[in-house]
Amino acid sequence: MTVAAALGTLLATPSACGSPAPAHGVQGAHGRRAPAAATPGPTRIPGLGDRLYRRIPADSRQVVAVYGEHRDSAVSRVVLYTRQGAGWRPVGSWPAHNGRGGWTEHHHEGDRRSPVGVFTLTDAGGVLADPGTRLPYDRDEGAYAPPAGWDEAHRHDFDYVIAIDYNRVKGTPPRDATRPWGADKGGGIWLHMDHGSGTSACVSVSREAMEVLLRTLDPAGDPVVVMGDRAALTA
């Protein structure tokens, strides 16, 4: 089953912890009343296990989940969730690509794998004008222009970008090349426009998806990205 199909099943299946408990318990097999169910806890983001879920800041109200097909695949799906009361509601879902080598828990420069983890989203920018985001937006046609040798398919990769705060200084433009953990740990990992195949380590989605993300993400909601392959996400 693909991630898209699995995610559809997860979203369509009612959560046990989200079901209301009967006010006076339910009828037991022998005519006795069973105890009323416990008060339900927060509805979990589908496909996410305790290890990564616990890393989401308590104040975060916006999560971009990147569901990778498997460890060595460049195919993924991005789902935007917003926190509503005790639960999370999906407000957008799009096909995506990640590093062409797949995923890794120990990313390093040049491995062509996207890092697994939970990272804040604080800064945006790109070649095009700000589409109406609340994130600090750095428009710079020169800084975000693709290298001269790139082919036509890659020309618009950086029209819009959102910096994933992996090995970078938060609060600086995405183009800032400072690497606090050292150059070997890689960096410059962004959400950006898709060109139809895997990336060097970034996550790419359509222009429509980037515009929705930019217009929805709000620093007041402490947005984060939770990203990885299915096995890593559910661990």
Catalytic positions: 192, 202
The shares of helix, strand and coil residues in the chain, as percent rounded to the nearest 5, are: 15, 25, 55
Distances (CA, A) of 235 to 53, 138, 209: 10, 36, 27
Rg (the chain; Cα; Å): 20
At 21 the three-state DSSP class reads coil
Cβ partners under 8 Å of residue 176, min gap 6: 168, 169
Cβ partners under 8 Å of residue 14, min gap 6: none
Question: What is d(CA 83, CA 68) in angstroms, rounded to the nearest whole number?
Answer: 22
What are the backbone dihedrals phi and psi of residue 171, each rounded to the nearest 5 degrees, phi first? 85, 10
Question: What is d(CA 64, CA 217) in angstroms, rounded to the nearest whole number?
Answer: 9
Question: What is d(CA 118, CA 203) in angstroms, rounded to the nearest whole number?
Answer: 14
